[in-house]
Amino acid sequence: MLINNDTIIKDNDERIRQISEDVPLPLSAEDEALLRDMYQYVIDSTDEEKAEKFNLRPAVGISAIQVGVPKKMTAIVVDDADKNGDPVRYEFMLVNPKIVSSSVQKAYLSSGEGCLSVAEEHEGHVVRSARVKVHAYDLLTDRMIEIRAHGYLAIVLQHELDHFKGTLFYDHIDNKDPFKEIPGAIEI
């Protein structure tokens, strides 16, 4: 499937609010091809030359609903640092991911969040759990996995899994006080 900025569904399209369905395992050839195309989009989107050539917006994740397929599949590629400050890359092609636990402590990105499906900027704190544990099938490793995520990766996972519920990041912003202080929250 061709995935670029023209084919990604935007937030003015009611389909982006559609609830996504569980995906039967093992994956059908069609579902596997779509998930691999989504993953390739994320990889290529951070290559300036490819992004310009193929009309790609930079991304760390994309969910199937963003290309009009209401299925619980998401591709994520996050460059971050481990607890020692060393660079680490997290790469997943997740099917039926589910948050099985989350921290009471909250976190938010100081720069705010963005989304391939949202053209306009929405400023404000998008408050999420600082840590999450996710169970899913991962096509990259071809097995069921458990992800224990904190910080930026935890934010990205929650953002992508929100798409399965038809929720966009700006739904979490307090309209009356978008930058209100969140006691005890980690600013990332």
Domains and CATH numbers, the chain: 14-187 (3.90.45.10)
Which pLDDT score, from 0 to 100, does residue 92 have?
Answer: 98
pTM over 0.75: yes
Res 81 pLDDT > 90: no
Q: Which of 48, 123, 160, 187 is catalytic?
A: 160
Active site residue 48: no
Across the chain, mean pLDDT equals: 96
Return the half-sphere exposure (C-beta side, CA atoms, 13 A cut-off) of residue 188. 22
pLDDT in tens, 63-80: 999 999 999 999 999 999
- Angle at Cα 178 formed by Cα 187 and Cα 132, nearest 5°? 40
User: By the 8 A CB rule, do 8 and 67 touch?
Assistant: yes
What pLDDT, on a 0 to 100 scale, did the predictor assign at position 55? 96
8-state DSSP, 2: -
